[in-house]
Amino acid sequence: MGELRLMKGNEVLGEAAIRCGCDGYFGYPITPQSEVMETLMQRQPWNETGMVVLQAESEVASINMVYGAAGAGKKTMTSSSSPGISLMAEGISYIAGAELPCLIINVQRGGPGLGTIQPSQADYFQAVKGGGHGDYKLIVLAPASVQEMNDFVDLGFELAFKYRNPAMILTDGALGQMMEKVELADQKPRWTDKEIHKISGDWATTGKPSSRKKNVITSLEMDSDIMEANNRRFQEKYKLIEKQETRYELIQCDDAEYIIVAFGTSSRVCQKSVEIARAKGLKVGLLRPITLFPFPNAIIKELARKTKGFLSVEMSAGQMIEDIKLAVYEAGSNARVNYFGRMGGIIPTPGEVVDALEDKFSWELNYGVKRSY
């Protein structure tokens, strides 16, 4: 059993970074995630593991520092919150285009614009559909507990290096600020130069010895035929990630007639909603996507064939619902897909979700059959 502590989600992100052998963190303060860098600065990991922590002049600089260090084969990360992630979008696109492994954390707050510092899930589209320019995908992990905030740092790096692709932890201000019991991992050593050579030696810019060709990190290619081939290769990689890395959790879905789909903070709320609904005699289950890209299409297709409807519960105006609808459509099912959510930094209550479920599916609940249109 690892060391048990009571910690804030944001603090855990910093602690987990040190313990998983991260080489460098570059960031810029923004609420509600500033504790990530504060924790790192207090811990001074450069004395212990040699990890570099640097406060950059902006999020734009942070993500480009990550680009440089990741291009040298180092385990590198940054964290920010929604407006800061928008500023990083250009750099993230370059990182995806140059196929660099790194970890980006978005502790979401409500938008648009300066919005609010309260929690939100309104950056779903930005995270799973790309966010910057061009056709690319991030591997997106959605923790629902402080424990998962811890676990997904290591997992994020593992997946990023496995596929040479940026990974993102998409969380929010509630998970970042709340304290929970967490079991920390043991300290892993940072990679040695020899290990980096073995893992990334064929592409990382570590200084060219006479024994190999020069390594060049770039997303630029003026020949459209080659650029299209690069894009095809990226798409193949994303398909492979979909096939191999989809993660989700099912709660009481075996006999469920209605399935709530929710991730992160809203999935925590919905666990209680399932209990309330079950106590009322409603057969309700919860599907919690753990990876948002890859999205758990296959399980939704399977569930769509035997359930009456889905309720997408989001702290946004309804973004993930589009992916659920696509999966239901692909399944050839006529299960209904509804949305309930709150915006602007409001977290829905369990009771609200149950009320919404009863309201949106009132036809089915009253008549026992699907409503046809």
Partner 1 sequence: MELKDLIKPENLVYEKSKLQEDEIMHYCPGCSHGVVHKIMAELIEEMDIQNKTIGVAPVGCAVFAYKYIDIDWQEAAHGRAPAVATGIARLMPERFVFTYQGDGDLASIGTAEIMHACNRGENILVIFINNGIYGMTGGQMAPTTLEGMVTATTPTGRNVELNGFPLKITDLIAQLPGTSYVTRQAVHTAAAVRKCKRSLKKAVQNVLDKKGTSFVEVVSTCSSGWKMTPVASNKWMEDNMIPYYPLGDLKDSVKGENVSEN
Nearest to partner 1 of 147, 215 (CB atom): 215
Closer Cβ to partner 1, 58 or 362, answer by number: 58
Supply 296's token pair.
């758990």
Which residue number, 64 or 165, has a Cβ lying nearer to partner 1?
64
- Please, what is the minimum distance in Å from the beta carbon of residue 46 to partner 1? 10
To partner 1, the closest distance from the beta carbon of 91 in angstroms equals 6
Q: Least distance in Å: CB of 48 to partner 1?
A: 16
What gap in Å lies between CA 198 and CA 165, rounded to an integer? 18
Token code pair at residue 57: 């002049």
Q: At what angle do helices 320-330 and 297-304 cross, to 10 degrees?
A: 60
Tell me how far, at minimum, the Cβ of 53 lies from partner 1, in Å: 10
For residue 244, how many other CB atoms are within 10 A of its CB? 11
**Cβ closest to partner 1, residue 15 vs residue 23:** 23
Classify residue 332 as exposed, middle or buried by CB count within 10 Å of its CB (0-12, 13-18, 19+).
Answer: exposed
**What is the biggest distance separating any 2 CA atoms in the chain, rounded to whole angstroms?**
77
The least distance separating partner 1 from the CB of residue 132, rounded to whole angstroms, comes to 10
CA neighbours within 13 Å on the CB side: how many for 58?
9
Q: Positive or negative, the Cα torsion across 203, 204, 205, 208?
A: negative
Residue (207 or 368) nearer to partner 1, CB: 207
**Residue placing its CB nearer to partner 1 in the complex, 48 or 236:** 48
Residues that bind partner 1 (CB under 8 A): 23-24, 26, 52, 54, 56-58, 60-62, 64-72, 74, 76, 90-91, 94, 98, 205-210, 214-220
Q: Which is nearer to partner 1, 160 or 292 (CB)?
A: 160
Kindly state the smallest distance separating residue 230's Cβ from partner 1, in Å. Answer: 14
- Contact between 348 and 314 under an 8 Å Cβ cutoff? The reply is no
Q: Where are the alpha helices (DSSP H) in 143-214?
A: 146-163, 173-177, 193-200
Distance, in Å, from the CA atom of 50 to the CA atom of 57, rounded to the nearest integer, reads: 22
**Which burial class, exposed, middle or buried, applies to 279 when counting CB atoms under 10 A from its CB (0-12, 13-18, 19+)?**
exposed
In terms of CB distance, is 68 or 83 closer to partner 1? 68
Element (H, E) at 140: strand 139-141
Instruction: Give the integer Cα–Cα distance in Å for 163 and 160.
Output: 6
Least distance to partner 1, CB of residue 26, Å: 7
Nearest approach, Cβ of residue 68 and partner 1 (Å): 3
Helix (H) or strand (E) holding 264, with range, is: helix 264-279
